[in-house]
Amino acid sequence: MHQLSAADLAQRLSSGEVTSVEATQASLDRIAAVDDRINAFLHVDAEGALAAAADVDARRAAGESLAALAGVPIAVKDVLTTIGQPTTCGSRMLEGWVPPYDSTVVAKLRAAGLPIVGKTNMDEFAMGSSTEHSAYGPTRNPWDTSRIPGGSGGGSAAAVAAQQVPLAIGTDTGGSIRQPGAMTGTVGVKPTYGGVSRYGLVAMASSLDQAGPVTRTVLDAALLHEVIAGHDPRDSTSIDAPVPAVVEAARRGDVAGLRIGVVRELHGSAEFGGGFQPGVRQRFDEVVELLTGAGADVVEVSCPSFVHGIAAYYLVMPSEVSSNLAKFDAMRYGLRVGPEGVPAPSAEQVMAASRDAGFGDEVKRRIILGTYALSSGYYDAYYGSAQKVRTLIARDFAAAFEDVDVLVSPTAPTTAWPLGEKLDDPLAMYLADVATIPANLAGVPGISVPAGLVDGLPVGIQFLAPALADDRLYNAGAALERLVGTTTLEEIA
């Protein structure tokens, strides 16, 4: 049962062929069988999930009309608050913290009848590209457990790839849904900024963060997108507009006549992206041929400011991190420790000792970088300049979308690398998000779709669309999925 897509499982649930309790128990059994090798989960709530599943079964038996995915088990990245389950953000700073409220995304999942089986591992406070920066140990890639699953949402991607759950929720600040999708052979979607509520999403960088679906098929992602999207008055950045017709687009999946732009700066050429792995570039070129053969009008477009995306992102994001993480002061909740040898420490001494003990190296690095960028005398030179580059990137997107319907690129420049390979080289780690970051800076939606294997490891192809045109992603993504097939893991390596 764990090999079924969410859409297929939902159909069997609706017909009465299986119950939600059976499906949820199958998911829990799969987690118990394989997660000691993957470490995708930080918390498993078997009792809560089975109770939610039993409630769905009872309501279905009573003839109640239920949501399309009612009864399908799901996992949630441990950065979204959940009543009754810890929300640690992969950090010692929040170890054991059980929130008193649900995030809007979680509340929508509960209302739609999806049993939440647990919380998935992640880079601490979503800072990382490999899920090695979790305070609770790294997640491993099910395709090769000696390799990373991508990050920061490697737990959600690995859980779906390892068939522990058919659906998961991730968050994407600079690629943290899409890049793990590419690394694990899963579908990952970053909706339009503001298309999914951030209420209850523990903020890393508020102008960049966005929750979205992690699934094994494009249709599953569309079905989940429809559940979690929509306006939320509790989020001041939430867009008050209809949710695009993503499910209809995923079912259509036809690129005939679609204008697709190959982003010159994200194609892996020596001039702009020499770090692109040859096999990834070759697979991308093959995909472009397939799309052309399916009737798409594929042209090259230039987005020259994209080459500055990494530099701008690593000023904007740490600046927001510096501001957002100031709330973790050991005074109200979370970890609190006192400095050694100080019998009556001041509040400032407790804050310093708690932050030193609670935050990992990567989080400290970004807080320090952001605080510096925002400091007097440097604000205009660094943060202000980065915001100007952000505007130029948004203009590049706007100009490109005057000529094409969607843009296409590799999702990540390489396949999954061995655990530990880039831990001592932060810049090399940051470059893994070179193709995904522009979408976050501009607020436009993106999808990563599996496009086969290179040397036995998954490769992802990214489509980008204008803001609020998320349906275009699902149309193009579903078409590609039909052309290349799904990337399914037969057995955990």
Spot the catalytic one: 176, 197, 305, 319.
Answer: 176
Q: Does 436 reside within a domain?
A: yes
Say which residue the tokens 């989020």 belong to.
235
Let me know if 77 is a catalytic residue. yes
Let me know if 385 is a catalytic residue. no
Q: Does 144 reside within a domain?
A: yes
Per-residue pLDDT tens over the stretch 283-303: 999 999 999 999 999 999 999
Q: Does 157 reside within a domain?
A: yes
**pTM, 2 dp:** 0.97
Cα separation, 337 vs 210, in Å, equals 32
The domain in which residue 190 lies consists of: 6-256+410-484
Q: Does 212 reside within a domain?
A: yes
Q: Does 246 reside within a domain?
A: yes
Q: Does 133 reside within a domain?
A: yes
Please report, for the domain that includes residue 426, its CATH number.
3.90.1300.10
Structure confidence at residue 138 (pLDDT): 98
Structure confidence at residue 351 (pLDDT): 87
Spot the catalytic one: 129, 152, 156, 305.
Answer: 152
Segment 325-351 mean pLDDT: 88
Q: Does 366 reside within a domain?
A: no
pLDDT at residue 268 is higher than 70? no
Q: Does 374 reside within a domain?
A: no
Structure confidence at residue 235 (pLDDT): 98
Cα separation, 12 vs 66, in Å, equals 14
- Which one, of 87, 374, 362, lies nearest residue 203 by Cα? 87
Let me know if 197 is a catalytic residue. no
- Which one, of 114, 111, 109, lies nearest residue 27 by Cα? 114
Spot the catalytic one: 27, 77, 156, 409.
Answer: 77
Encoded tokens for 327: 């709330």
Per-residue pLDDT tens over the stretch 168-220: 999 999 999 999 999 999 999 999 999 999 999 999 999 999 999 999 999 99
Structure confidence at residue 491 (pLDDT): 81
Beta bridge partners of 213: 169
Number of domains in the chain: 1
